[in-house]
């Protein structure tokens, strides 16, 4: 028969292992979320840079065509 002390020790051990597993799972979720948010921010900045470059090129093309019409 298992004594009260050993029973309590087993319960605390199981609870600690379960808590550690849950904390690890939560840390993994947070890590993935940070990675995904970072990727989206990077993609947004890349899109902005590409739009800025396209606008600049369009303005240069428009300026070149205006000069050739004169």
pLDDT in tens, 51-62: 999 999 999 998
pLDDT of 56 reads 96
CA–CA separation, 16 vs 21, rounded Å? 9
Write down the pLDDT at residue 69. 64
pLDDT tens-place string over residues 9-39: 999 999 999 999 999 999 999 999 999 999 9
Q: Read off the tokens for 57.
A: 């090129």
> What SS3 state is found at 3?
coil
Q: Kindly indicate the confidence band of residue 65, based on its pLDDT and cuts at 50, 70 and 90.
A: confident
Q: How far is CA 21 from the centre of its chain?
A: 22
Cα separation, 58 vs 69, whole angstroms: 17
Which of the two residues, 28 and 1, has the higher pLDDT score?
Answer: 28
Please give the Cα distance from 65 to 51 (Å, whole number).
Answer: 21
């Amino acid at each position: 028969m298992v004594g009260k002390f050993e029973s309590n020790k087993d319960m605390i051990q199981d609870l600690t292992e379960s808590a550690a597993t849950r904390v690890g799972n939560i840390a993994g979720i947070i890590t993935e979320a940070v990675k995904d948010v970072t990727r989206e921010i990077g993609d947004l900045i890349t899109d902005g840079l590409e739009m800025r470059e396209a606008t600049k090129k369009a303005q240069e093309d428009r300026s070149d065509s205006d000069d050739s019409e004169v």
